[in-house]
Each structure stands twice: as structure tokens, then as C-alpha cells.
Amino acid sequence: MKKYLAKRIAFSIFSLLVVVLTVMTLVYSLINRTVIFQTDDAWNKRSNNDRSYYEYTMYQKYGYLEFVNYKTFLAQKYEAKVGSNYTADKAYSADSAIIQNEKKYLDNDSVKEFISTYENEGYKIVYLKPILYSNGKAKPGGTGYLLATKERHMVVRLWDYIKQIIKVESKNDVQDPTITERYVRWEKDPYNGFYARVGMGTPHKYQLYFDSRFPFIHQNKIHLNLGISFTKYRGQEITDVITQPTGDLKTVRTQYPSKIGTDEYVDTAIDFHKLSWNYGELTEADKANYPDKYTVAGYQRKGLSMLENSFVIGLIATVCAYFLGLPLGILMARKKDSLVDKIGMGYIIFIIAVPSLGYIFLFAALGTTVLNLPYKFANAQVKILAYVLPTISLALPQVAGLMRWMRRYMIDQMNSDYVKFARAEGMSESEIFNQHISKNAMIPIVHGIPGNILGCLIGAIITERVYSVPGVGNLLTTAINGHDNGIIIACTVFYTSLSLISLILGDLLMAKVDPRITFESKAGR
């Protein structure tokens, strides 16, 4: 069993890698990379060479290429030579100004050194010529740049991506000479009176803490990072985007860490459990409010995160679907060819054949006009009612699917020998159905349960769009419309790993329910 599982997991990881590499190759090499600037204000503000240089910095940030600026190279060179005050050095200023001279820059020794060093390392030299007015002054953004660029190989890109997916904080992570003692230990949490695991030297102050928000126990130790968004949430980590609440700021009456024990209270939305290390200079206010350099804070927001929104709706819908669909399927099988069966089959055909868009809009139209339920999520007066229609339109098609398969499996079982034998023994029909047939028919149904539950994390594309639910369902589709390669890769990893996990879980669950199924190959087979 363990051997089989290890094999399955290994193969799953292998296929995940293949899929991610394929999608990366497709997305990074076939899509014109300039599309990421279409809606970028910072790009629009810049012009001429500044714009090109900005493009290179963004390409580097998003993993297309690596580049070295000649200025950085010079700075390193002169810092080694004359020390940290190199900017005052005359030779440095001469060397750095020479690239503004289109005709002479190639004669400069530093430039020659720069070009030969990086060309040997496989870089390509890019010279952005200075763009000048006729009087010799540079046009806005027209200063010249000398860069060495190297495209990143797809496998390198994949490897870098994999490396950054899981980050575990340790007490030696923050490089700062002011830290005298590094530790991670249990301390009394001043914000709720419980205990919390507090670190010094870790990027986040609180490694593990409790609060009143579901699921009540939180951690900052292990970070899952699926990459950064390109265009939609410029530069933000996608995992943060989908897991952080989307509502208004939640202001509470609390105290700054330094003020604990005094009677100085503030109304703020800062979440002191999310404090992280400040690598820059502390302001006066920071020094007054915080005892240490953990001063960078996140904010508390109301409401649910995108992931939670999708998951709540999906989970309720799935649970309802199982509670409705399975009994209805059993009923249809018992009353085969009766009116109930025919109505049920009509409904199943309707759901299978009609495009999902059609019936979701039909449910929306019926729900808003007949039942007077809120239509758009954001406009709902009573927040809880906004969840009703999306949940219904997710549950109803699932019900049809479950009815269909339950009926099918039941009817298949009804003709088997053990049923005839049970009947011959004189068991009542309901005994046969409830104790024998439905148990056997459940086995293939059980296989789909983990997939359906984990599938809620992916969200529902059409339903969420129709009702404007702030969920994760449209992450991929909006990313595609907005040319956000980062989100596309993240979605690929997320969706594919979810489906791999649910397949394995489904198989395990099925083996648990049905003792006849084993994964060990028996001798002699």
C-alpha cells in the first residue's frame, strides 16, 4: 500500500511538472510579451529609453530574462576600487557619462570590460542610444542605457518557480546586525491572553497565534507562493490575493506593542499579528510605537477572502447535492419507468443537453423575478441572501449528475445474482434496496467525493460571473483576458495539483469503503 502510494505521488508530481513546463513554454514563448504593458500606468508615463529600460526591469521581475545595467557594473567596480564614496570619484563619473556619447562610448575601457565580461557569459549587449534634441540635450526619458541581457531558459525558469513555491521561515532569515539574540519561543500573546509562538530573526514576528477569526489558529511560518500577478494585481503574490479578505477595513480599539500596559488606545485596522521585519529605516512614529523592528503590518479586513467565498458557496452546494441527488437517484431506480423516473430523466437530459449558461441564467431570472432574491452579489441588502442563488445554481446541475449515476449504478446492481438470492430468501424490497443495492452502488459514487469537495476551491466560472461573486472562479479567465501570465501559471499549478490530489484521495476512499479493492498486486496474478 505504501509503495503503491509513493509511486502514485511520484507520478503525480512528475505529471504536474510536465504540465507546468508545457504551459510555461506556451505562455512565455508564444504570447507577445509586450501585452503586459497594455494597462500599465507606470509604462504609459515613461517615454523613449526610460520606457524601454522599464520594460527590461519588468521582464526581469516576471522571469523572462536577466539583465545587468552598466551603471550597476560600474558601481561594483569602483566600490571595490575606491570604497563606498565612489560617486565622488572622477574616473567613475567619466566612465558613467560616456554612454551618453553615442560615438565614443565603445572606446572606453570600462565599457569594453563590461561588454567582454558579459558577452563571455552568454549575455547579449543592448545599447539604448541617447535620444537628443538638436541642441544636444536629452529628450524626456532619452538618456542612454547600456545593458547586458540574457533570456532565461525554460527549465531554469521552472526550477526557480518551484524553488519559491514553499518558503519556511527560520530564525536566521533576517540579515541584520542589530539583532542580538535570535529565537523562536512561546510567549504570552498580549492581544488575547493566550500563548503565541514569537520569533526574533524570523521575517514575521508571530509564527503561530490564535484569534477570533475562523479557523482560529493561524501561522506565518510556512508560506505558499504560487507566483506573482503580472497585470491584474500588479506585483502582488497570488496566494495573498486569493486568501485575504476583500471587504472594508475592520477597525478595532487596540494598542501598539510599545503601549501595552499603558492606557493609550488607538482605533486602527492594523493587524498586529501580521507584523513583519522592517528592512528600511524606522520613522519616529515607528520607534515610539514598536519595541523592535517588526513594524511592517497588514490590515484587517471584513468579509471573506476570494477563496473562502468560492469554497463556502461550493461546499454548501455540494453537500445539498449529495443529500438531494442520492435519495432521488435511488427513488428513480426503485420506481423505474414510473412517472417519477420519467420526470427525473427529463431533468437530467435538460441539464446534460442545455448549455450550462442557459440554465444558470434561467435560474437567475426565475430567482430574481419570482422569488425576489438579490441578483448581483455586491448589491444585496442582506448579505446572507446573496449566497442563495449562486448556491442553488451550483447545486441543481450537481444534483442531476448524482441522480443520473446513482440511478445507473442501482439499476446495474438490481440485476445481479445476490439481489435475486436475497429476494429468494424472502427479504423485503426496502431491505434489499437500503442494505444491499445502495451500498454497492455507492462505491463508485464515493470516488468522486474528494474531487467535488476540493473542486469547490477552484470556484465556478459562470455562476460567479453571473452573480458577480468575488470568488476565485474567474481568476483564470480574467487572467487570460488581461494577459496575466503569472496568474495563468499559478492556476495551472493550483488546478492540476487539486485534481491530482482528489484522484488519489478518491481511490483511497474507495478502497476504504470497499474491502474488495486493494492496491497491492497479489502473487500469482
Residues near another protein (CB under 8 A):
11-12, 15-16, 18-19, 23, 26-27, 30-31, 349-350, 352-358, 361, 365, 368-369, 375, 458, 461-462, 465-466, 474, 476-477, 480-481, 488, 491-492, 495-496, 499-500, 503
Write b or e for each residue in 10-45: b if 16 or more Cβ atoms lie within 10 A of its Cβ, otherwise e: eebeeebeebbeebbeebbeeeebeebbeebeebee
DSSP class of 123: -
Q: Provide, rounded to whole angstroms, the least separation between the CB of residue 18 and another protein.
A: 5
Distance between CA 18 and CA 466 in Å, rounded?
34
Q: Provide, rounded to whole angstroms, the least separation between the CB of residue 524 and another protein.
A: 19
For another protein, which is the closer residue by CB, 30 or 168?
A: 30
DSSP class of 143: -
CA nearest to 407, candidates 341, 317, 324, 451? 341
Helices (DSSP H) in 31-125: which residue ranges? 41-45, 48-61, 70-82, 90-97, 109-120
For another protein, which is the closer residue by CB, 200 or 490?
A: 490
For another protein, which is the closer residue by CB, 129 or 465?
A: 465
DSSP class of 216: S
Q: Provide, rounded to whole angstroms, the least separation between the CB of residue 439 and another protein.
A: 25
Residues 278 and 176: beta-carbon distance below 8 Å: no
Residues 426 and 412: beta-carbon distance below 8 Å: no
**Chain position carrying cell 450537481:** 398
Q: Provide, rounded to whole angstroms, the least separation between the CB of residue 30 and another protein.
A: 5
For another protein, which is the closer residue by CB, 56 or 467?
A: 467
Distance between CA 219 and CA 223 in Å, rounded?
9
Residues 21 and 154: beta-carbon distance below 8 Å: yes
* Cβ atoms within 10 Å, residue 507: 17
Residue 410's alpha-carbon distances to 293, 405, 441, 447, 507, in angstroms, are: 65, 8, 5, 16, 21
For another protein, which is the closer residue by CB, 466 or 469?
A: 466
For another protein, which is the closer residue by CB, 295 or 496?
A: 496
For another protein, which is the closer residue by CB, 199 or 459?
A: 459
CA nearest to 211, candidates 273, 263, 149? 273
Q: Provide, rounded to whole angstroms, the least separation between the CB of residue 173 and another protein.
A: 35
Q: Provide, rounded to whole angstroms, the least separation between the CB of residue 462 and another protein.
A: 7
Residues 486 and 24: beta-carbon distance below 8 Å: no
Q: Provide, rounded to whole angstroms, the least separation between the CB of residue 498 and another protein.
A: 9
For another protein, which is the closer residue by CB, 203 or 455?
A: 455
For another protein, which is the closer residue by CB, 249 or 354?
A: 354
Q: Provide, rounded to whole angstroms, the least separation between the CB of residue 497 and another protein.
A: 9
Q: Provide, rounded to whole angstroms, the least separation between the CB of residue 19 and another protein.
A: 5
CA nearest to 486, candidates 63, 54, 10? 63
Q: Provide, rounded to whole angstroms, the least separation between the CB of residue 239 and another protein.
A: 18
For another protein, which is the closer residue by CB, 410 or 476?
A: 476
For another protein, which is the closer residue by CB, 60 or 368?
A: 368
**Distance from the Cα of residue 435 to its chain's centroid:** 43
Distance between CA 265 and CA 276 in Å, rounded?
22
Q: Provide, rounded to whole angstroms, the least separation between the CB of residue 23 and another protein.
A: 6
Peptide bond before residue 215 is cis, with ω within 30 degrees of 0? yes
Reduced to 3 states (helix: H, G, I; strand: E, B; else coil), residue 150 is: strand
